[in-house]
Chains A and B, each alone.
Chain A
């Protein structure tokens, strides 16, 4: 049996919006395919291991966000892991700190980890709150629309050459007017979609897994698939009438 390690990065700092569910979903979808999964909750004391296969980082408040960024810049565990073949999902505040720069709680720009080619500013208008639907490009494996829930004040601008995760069909995504959400760089995915995004979109979770493990068998659990299908269709139908 192949062993894999799933790392939930600082859930006590960046886990405010239920994003820790992503780690649970990816772990279970690996286990259902016969992998032996170790789920590590990296906390402030343990630090973040650099030998994980799947890294998940979620959304949170400004202060804890800046603290997480400081800690991740010190030993650079995520960069090391990505270089050795791991995959990363970063949501909202987690996505922002993995860009080139973001704003600290004092509203001054801080250096990000630099995995995504993007910079985040504070938007002086209304907060982006609501359902978000994103269409990823077909070269990401024809996964159909993605649904989530966004809730952020920061707006993220992709730098030249950076690729978004997808086009915004409903909601705001990265920035008012630009109509794109998130970023993708190799095996690193960034997005503003909470939900958690893997619970809303199991196909995205499976794509994420395949970035590390290659093509996958479908999961043989019709009840689980039906539950996902019901939720997915309901969310799409509610937003796109």
Chain B
């Protein structure tokens, strides 16, 4: 019966989009969502609205940690709902449209949409879906050639949320720009998810004055201040509604405990048992190839994705004792064309490690590393750079397309047996 809401024209459009996706994947020219999504929207402009009918939906947005938090959230909720979600990273209109094209309408009332949404598209996509909950993670400088400056984005979020009284918001109360957007919601659950990178948060979004950061939070002289959190993180525990939940993740980094806290906040609003949600999340070892260790040319390599200064602050926490670090920087559209943000990353933290600058913009990174007094080599091909490292443990940190390129070179899922890897290895060690 549910199927009847799909018109023949929409069914045709989704079939064409799926075929386009198959071609994209077969030719290995992309992840198989963006282009097919564009085809779908061209044939059927209302695809997002019509494919998401009767699908209560959670949207997750912010500059960083969208993909990871969405994956954690899916896992946390998967015991209670049949979940429709993004094809990895496809978080703009066409990606969401295509992700919906594979929705199984037969699962009926237990279906839940959980989508990560690009921060610039939250209002556009949120208004077309049956959005029940929006989670707002953080806002900081990223891809400034494409995305608005952070205050503009915060203002757009605020306008949308203010006009959507039926949407509950889960928001990071440690980020003033998130609070500015979320505080107009009819119902907010405040999560203390942390804010390491404060350079975009110092000037008050309300009055333009200076926000003062204290141990206990932040405040501006105009009265704009951090709301009291409903959900807090203490080490590997999350405290929520008088209850303490153990969140002992296999995913590295304290930031991921905070991401899990957001997922628990969402779970709480959906009446999902928090302990079992936490247990599910604790078993995850990777998110779309990120965080996991793979073996490449005899090295144990941890793969990390980081695309802006705020993300990098979390990376230093995860590099840990690995003696070698390969950094891949590209400047495709999805990365942002302008890598000048490299100068806002405190690369000084890598001093003493074996560092290799890789990617299309390895020369920009190399100049940056020189001025940070970080000894390094330049090898533009990230795979060769990894293979040539001296350390047994290597951390690879790529920005968006650099990370995707490496995964592709490794055979999509990070498989280690690909001939190409061996060929690179042989060439270098010959």
Q: Which residues of A are interface residues toward B (Cβ below 8 A)?
A: 11-13, 15-21, 24-25, 28, 43-45, 60-64, 66-67, 129-130, 149, 151, 194-196, 199, 223-224, 227-228, 230-231, 234
Asked whether B337 is an interface residue with its Cβ less than 8 Å from the other chain, the reply is yes
Chain B neighbourhood of A194, CB < 8 A: 338, 340
A230 and B377 CA atoms in complex are apart in Å by: 13
B367–A199 touching, CB < 8 Å: yes
- Among B141, B366, B367, the residue within 8 A (CB) of A16 is B141
A230–B210 touching, CB < 8 Å: no
A64 and B144 CA atoms in complex are apart in Å by: 16
Chain B neighbourhood of A63, CB < 8 A: 151, 203, 205, 208
Task: Please encode chain B, from 187 to 214, with 1 for each CB lying within 8 Å of some chain A CB and 0 for all others.
Answer: 0000000000001101101001110000
What is the CB-to-nearest-CB distance from A8 to chain B, in angstroms, rounded to a whole number? 12
Chain B neighbourhood of A60, CB < 8 A: 149
Chain A neighbourhood of B208, CB < 8 A: 63-64, 66-67
A61–B210 touching, CB < 8 Å: no
B368–A199 touching, CB < 8 Å: yes
Q: Which residues of B are interface residues toward A (Cβ below 8 A)?
A: 141, 144-145, 149-152, 199-200, 202-203, 205, 208-210, 337-338, 340-344, 363-364, 366-368, 370-371, 378
A227–B340 touching, CB < 8 Å: no
Chain B neighbourhood of A12, CB < 8 A: 199, 202-203, 210
- Among A18, A44, A151, A223, the residue within 8 A (CB) of B343 is A18
Chain B neighbourhood of A24, CB < 8 A: 343, 371
B366–A44 touching, CB < 8 Å: no
- Among B340, B366, B378, the residue within 8 A (CB) of A21 is B340
A153 and B160 CA atoms in complex are apart in Å by: 24
A194 and B363 CA atoms in complex are apart in Å by: 16
A229 and B378 CA atoms in complex are apart in Å by: 14
| 27 A-B pairs in the complex with CB atoms less than 8 angstroms apart | A12-B202, A12-B203, A12-B210, A13-B202, A15-B199, A16-B149, A17-B340, A17-B341, A18-B341, A20-B343, A21-B340, A21-B344, A21-B368, A24-B343, A24-B371, A61-B150, A61-B151, A61-B152, A64-B203, A66-B208, A149-B338, A149-B340, A151-B145, A194-B340, A195-B340, A231-B363, A231-B367
A16 and B153 CA atoms in complex are apart in Å by: 14
Q: A43-B210, A63-B205, A151-B338 are in contact. List 4 more A-B contacts (CB 8 A).
A: A61-B149, A61-B150, A149-B337, A196-B343
A234–B203 touching, CB < 8 Å: no
What is the CB-to-nearest-CB distance from A220 to chain B, in angstroms, rounded to a whole number? 14
Chain A neighbourhood of B210, CB < 8 A: 12, 43-45
A130–B337 touching, CB < 8 Å: yes
B340–A18 touching, CB < 8 Å: yes
A234 and B144 CA atoms in complex are apart in Å by: 22
The 5 closest A-B pairs by CB, nearest first: A21-B343, A18-B340, A18-B343, A12-B202, A231-B363
Given that A61-B151, A67-B203, A130-B337 are known contacts, is A18 also in contact with B367, CB under 8 Å in the complex?
Answer: no
What is the CB-to-nearest-CB distance from B340 to chain A, in angstroms, rounded to a whole number? 3
Chain A neighbourhood of B149, CB < 8 A: 16, 60-61
Given that A28-B371, A67-B208, A149-B337 are known contacts, is A129 also in contact with B342, CB under 8 Å in the complex?
Answer: no
Chain B neighbourhood of A21, CB < 8 A: 340, 342-344, 368, 371
Chain A neighbourhood of B367, CB < 8 A: 199, 227-228, 231
What is the CB-to-nearest-CB distance from B140 to chain A, in angstroms, rounded to a whole number? 10
What is the CB-to-nearest-CB distance from A165 to chain B, in angstroms, rounded to a whole number? 18
Chain B neighbourhood of A15, CB < 8 A: 199, 344
A16–B203 touching, CB < 8 Å: no
Given that A25-B371, A64-B208, A194-B338 are known contacts, is A20 also in contact with B344, CB under 8 Å in the complex?
Answer: yes
Chain B neighbourhood of A11, CB < 8 A: 199
B366–A230 touching, CB < 8 Å: yes
Residue among B141, B337, B363 facing the most chain A CB atoms (10 A cut-off): B363
Chain B: CB-nearest residue to A17 = B340
Chain B neighbourhood of A16, CB < 8 A: 141, 144, 149, 200
A223 and B199 CA atoms in complex are apart in Å by: 31
- Among A25, A44, A224, A231, the residue within 8 A (CB) of B364 is A231
What is the CB-to-nearest-CB distance from A10 to chain B, in angstroms, rounded to a whole number? 9
A66 and B209 CA atoms in complex are apart in Å by: 11
Chain A neighbourhood of B205, CB < 8 A: 63
A230–B363 touching, CB < 8 Å: yes
A18 and B378 CA atoms in complex are apart in Å by: 22
A64 and B202 CA atoms in complex are apart in Å by: 10
B337–A227 touching, CB < 8 Å: no
Chain B neighbourhood of A231, CB < 8 A: 363-364, 366-367
What is the CB-to-nearest-CB distance from B111 to chain A, in angstroms, rounded to a whole number? 40
Chain B: CB-nearest residue to A130 = B337
A89 and B341 CA atoms in complex are apart in Å by: 19
